[in-house]
Each structure stands twice: as C-alpha cells, then as structure tokens.
Amino acid sequence: MICPKCGNECDDNQMFCNACGTKLKNFVPTDQEEIVVPDRTRPTSNIHREESRTATINTGNKGKNDNVLNKENKGKNDNALNKENKKPKKNSRRLESELLDNDNITDAGFASKKTKAKYKNDKYNVSSNKNVNPKKSGKNVAIVALIAIVAVVATVAITISIKKASMTKKFNQYYNNGTVYYNQQNYKDARTQFYTASNNAVNNEQRVKSYVMVYKVDSIIGGYEKEEIEFLEALIAIDNSNIDYYKELIVLYQNNDMNSKIEPLIAGAPSNMKEELTNYNGTIPVANYKEGVYRNPINVELSSSNDVTIYYTTDGSNAIESETKTEYSSPIKLKKEGIYTIRAYSVDKNGKASKEMTIKYTLEFIKVDAPIIKPDSGKYTSDQKIEATAASDTIIYYTTDGTTPTTKSKKYKGAIDMPKGDSIYYFIAVNAEGVVSDVTTRVYNFTPEYSKTYDEALESLKRSIGGMDIIFNDNDDGDIYNFEYKEIAEISDKYYYIISCEMTTKKNKTKSTTYAVSCDDAICYKASYGSDGNYSISTSNDD
C-alpha cells in the first residue's frame, strides 16, 4: 500500500503511514475543515433578527466555548500521545475528528513519523535486525494505537460533557430571564432571551421549551410570520404528536398564501390526527352555504375553528377596510331576491387578522301564488264571510290597518265576518322556506239593510227625549239639543244606531248622552261604551 501523501510504501494492514502519520484508510486531506453535522431540528434561516446585543451574546459564547474546548482537547490529547511519542506532530483536534469518523478502527499498526525513526534506529527494528519478531513489533504498535484511541475518546467524552453542562447552564439562565420578561409583558426582550436559550439547547426537551416560547412571543408581537412557520415546522420535526402545532401551522399557511403546503402537512401527520386536521378550518371564516344560486331565502352562518371575532359586509366592500362592517353574532338572513356578496375576516385575541373570505350568493325564488280571497272588493248590505285560500304548503297572514303583512302579522285560521262600514284587508302566503307571495288586497263597505232607516231612528229618538221636531231648535224650556250619528253597533246579536245627543241649557250648561236606537223597531235606549271597546244598553230610555 502506498501512502497517498508522502508516497511511502506501507503494509496492507497498516492504518497510519509510519513515515508521515497519515491515515491510510478513509483518507482525509490535511486541508479539509472539521466536519460539523447540522441540527435538522433547528430552524435554519436567519430568523432571529435580533438587536446588536443578541449578536454580542452569541459571539461571546462561541469564543468562550471554543477556548474551553481547545484547552481541554489540546492538553489531554498531548498528554496521551506524549506517553508513546515524545514529540507528536499530529494535530489533536484533527486526530479526534479522524478517530471519531472512522467506524473500522482495528489493531493495525499505529505510529507517528518520530515513532518510525525510533524503530529504524532501534536494534530490534525489523528493518535493521532480523532477529526481532515481526508479530511482537506489530503488537506493540497496536497497543500504542489502542491507548491513543482510548485517550482521545475519553477526552472527547469529557469535553462533550463539559460543553453540555456549560450550555445547559446558559440555557436555564436565558430561559428564566425570558420568562421574567414574558410575565412583565416585555415581549421584545423576552424574545431575545428565549431565542438565545434555543441556541444553547442540548436536547429536544430544551429545544421544545424554547421554540414554543419564541413562537408565542412572535405571535403576540406580530410581523414574524416566516419565523413562526419555521419554528412550528421545527417543533413538528421534534414532536409530531402535538396536534396544536399542526393546527397553528395550518393557520399560518392559510394566511400567508401557502395553501399548497397544507395537504402535504396533513399527509405526513400521524394517522389518528388526519381526519381532525382535514376538517380544520383555521381562522379564516367559513360559511355554511356554498357559493351559488338558491331558490329560497337562506340564513348564512359564519364560523371558525378558533376562538376569534368575525367581522363581515354584505355589499361586496372590503370587510377589513370597511367602516360599516358588522361584528358577526347571529346568522345573516338573506330574504329577498338579488345578488349578495359576503366578505368576512377574523381577529384573534392578539389582534392578528386572518385572510379575508369572499363568497357570493344569487337568490332567485320559486314563485308562491298569492292567496285567493272571497268575496271581491265592493259594497255589501248583508252579512258576509271573508275566506282566503292558498297552496297547501303555505301559511296565510293578513292585516286590517293598511300595512303589508309579514310572518308576524295575524295568521289566517278561518272565515272572517265582514265588519260593518268600511274595511281594508291585505293577504300574503308564505311557504316553508320563507318565500313570500304577492299581496292580495280587498276593500269592503258593508251597510246592512235594516227595517228602520237612520232618519226613522232619529225621529224616534227626538220624540223619546222631548218631542223636538228639528235639530238645533230650542225646546219650550230653552234647552238646545245637538244630535250626531256615530255608527251601527252590534249589541247582543242585534243592531243599533249609535247616536250622541248634546244638550245645552239656558244657563249654558252642557250635558252629553249616547243613545242606541234599534234598527228593527226604532226603540231607544241609553248606551255606554265599555273599556273592552263594545257598547252596552240600559232598558231605561228616560232622560
């Protein structure tokens, strides 16, 4: 075997060149840098964006740790090699890397350049003395190599232990400082401390603790969406059993136009989480009706998987910028035909707004036939029943005060007696989906034909109260009577002319009396109007 560095001829079972000490197997060029294995669980981009003091802290730590490592490695490695090689030229740090990187170390020969020179001049060296046993010489070299390896491994183990202890101490210091700042709501300084703690984490437990706190602080401060994403991705790489990491990452993907990453994220999640994550909506509001054309009124409900406040508009204006946006508290009722554009977004407890959602609905209703009302509008002199009919799957509502009916108006339950005098009715029909028909209107004048006319009833009343023959005439006592027709009222299933009589005496005193005169026989009665809105009569017709 030829040494790739100095060209010296070596035995096949040698690991190091006796002339220059170069490793013969797994050869590493002398100018190659020490290999550093990256930590795949740590966010890789320049994400901390800290102030200059953060960089000072990190730089100071690095220099201090390197000095400790160099002193430990150099001293202990030199002591181990000096036992066998009085003046070793091999760099202890490079030797440490070579020995740790080589998984196939055997008991083959190990010697430095000085060691070979020693053996060349020694009378027991194989090349100068043929009486020396080659097996014994190889055994000595193997022992030297083994001792060196043990020394290096021990040095590395001790160095790693010291380094871990130092980093753990720093981790606890920075993490505790961050906790104090966090509780004081000094989130900027808290972030600096937590991030520096993450740089000193030596195990996954410490990484998770510090990453979670950096993420929380970034969420509160705002403007760190990229960093939040990278920390959550790192947390999932360490612990994929926490479904909250996935949900929060989905929200960030949604709000940063990274929807293409959601499906692969869910696909890589544990099987017991996939269904819940697939149905997870995040913070962007979701409507219960899909966009499209609807034939009936709809009540649009907005929801979000997270505890957030939702704001919306229905006129197509930007909900985030609108000054007339509405805070969502109950379903949005779309009752009339037309085109509606709902835009909505949410705000979380930290004041962070979600991406806006936009959805459009077109309402083109199925027509509901207006109710059929009998009898038609007109004048009537006999009792009438007002009847309304409509489709079997509808409900009829009506009003009598001239207003348009709604579902809060009187519900039609059966035939209605046509009232005396003038009346107006409005009817609508409403189906189960809330579609309202056109309005049907009826106007009536019901003046029944009675045995006695009003004039006959009035003459009877005049005779009854004093024999007067004309209105406004003075009677023999000097009193003045003024009669006024009020209405026809139904009292105990009979009809009466209601007439008011006002008498003014010669002493200028006024007295008013209401009379009820029968429409059938013109008999007069005193009448009174009750609080229930009905008239009653007394059997006495005396003044």
| Residue-range domains of the chain with CATH | 35-239 (no CATH), 286-363 (2.60.40), 372-446 (2.60.40.10), 454-538 (no CATH)
Question: What's the mean pLDDT in 421-432?
Answer: 95
Contact 472, 480 (CB under 8 A): yes
- Sign of the C-alpha dihedral, residues 141, 146, 151, 152? positive
Cβ neighbors of 408 (< 8 A, separation 6 or more) are none
Q: Write the pLDDT tens digit of every residue in 293-341.
A: 998 899 999 998 778 999 999 999 999 999 889 999 999 999 888 999 9
pLDDT at 306: 76
**Cα(202)–Cα(165) distance, integer angstroms:** 9
CB atoms within 10 A of CB 462: 18
Residue 279: pLDDT band by 50, 70, 90 thresholds? confident
**Which three-class secondary structure state does DSSP give residue 320?**
coil
Residue 3 has pLDDT above 70, yes or no: yes
512 CB burial (10 A radius; 0-12, 13-18, 19+): exposed
Residue 74: what residue type?
A: K
Read off the pLDDT band of 51 (50, 70, 90): very low
pTM, two decimals, is 0.45
- Stretch 205-214: mean pLDDT: 94
**DSSP character at residue 5:** T
**Mean pLDDT across the chain, nearest whole number?**
79
**Average pLDDT of the residues in 243-265:** 91
Band (pLDDT 50/70/90 cuts) for residue 17 is: low
Q: In percent, how much of the chain has pLDDT > 90?
A: 48
Q: Is the pLDDT of residue 530 over 70?
A: yes
Q: Which two tokens stand for residue 429?
A: 């029909």
- Which residue type does 97 have? S
Q: b/e per residue, 383-417, with b = 16+ CB within 10 A?
A: ebebebebeeebebbbbeeeeebeeebeebeeebe
Q: Please name the residue that has the structure tokens 């020969």.
A: 109
Distances (CA, A) of 135 to 78, 113, 126, 142, 333: 28, 20, 10, 11, 97
Euclidean distance between CA atoms 289 and 107, whole angstroms: 76
- Nearest-5° Cα angle at 484, 479 to 486: 145
pLDDT at 478: 61
Residue of 373, 485, 371 whose CA lies nearest to 418:
373
Residue 71: its H or E element: helix 52-82
- pLDDT recorded at residue 421: 87
pLDDT band at 348 (very low <50, low <70, confident <90, very high): confident
> Distance (Å, rounded) from C-alpha 381 to C-alpha 358?
61
Say what the pLDDT of residue 16 is.
59
Q: In what order do the strands lie in the sheet with 416-417?
A: 372-374, 385-389, 416-417
More confident residue, 252 or 57: 252
Q: Is the pLDDT of residue 343 over 80?
A: yes
Q: Which of 89-98, 203-212, 213-222, 438-447 is predicted least confidently?
A: 89-98
What SS3 class is residue 467? coil
Residue with the two structure tokens 């909250």: 244
For residues 435 and 365, the answer to whether their CB atoms sit within 8 Å is: yes
* Tens of pLDDT, residues 99-133: 333 433 333 333 334 444 444 444 444 444 455 55
**What does the alpha-carbon distance between residue 448 and residue 495 come to, in Å, rounded to a whole number?**
10
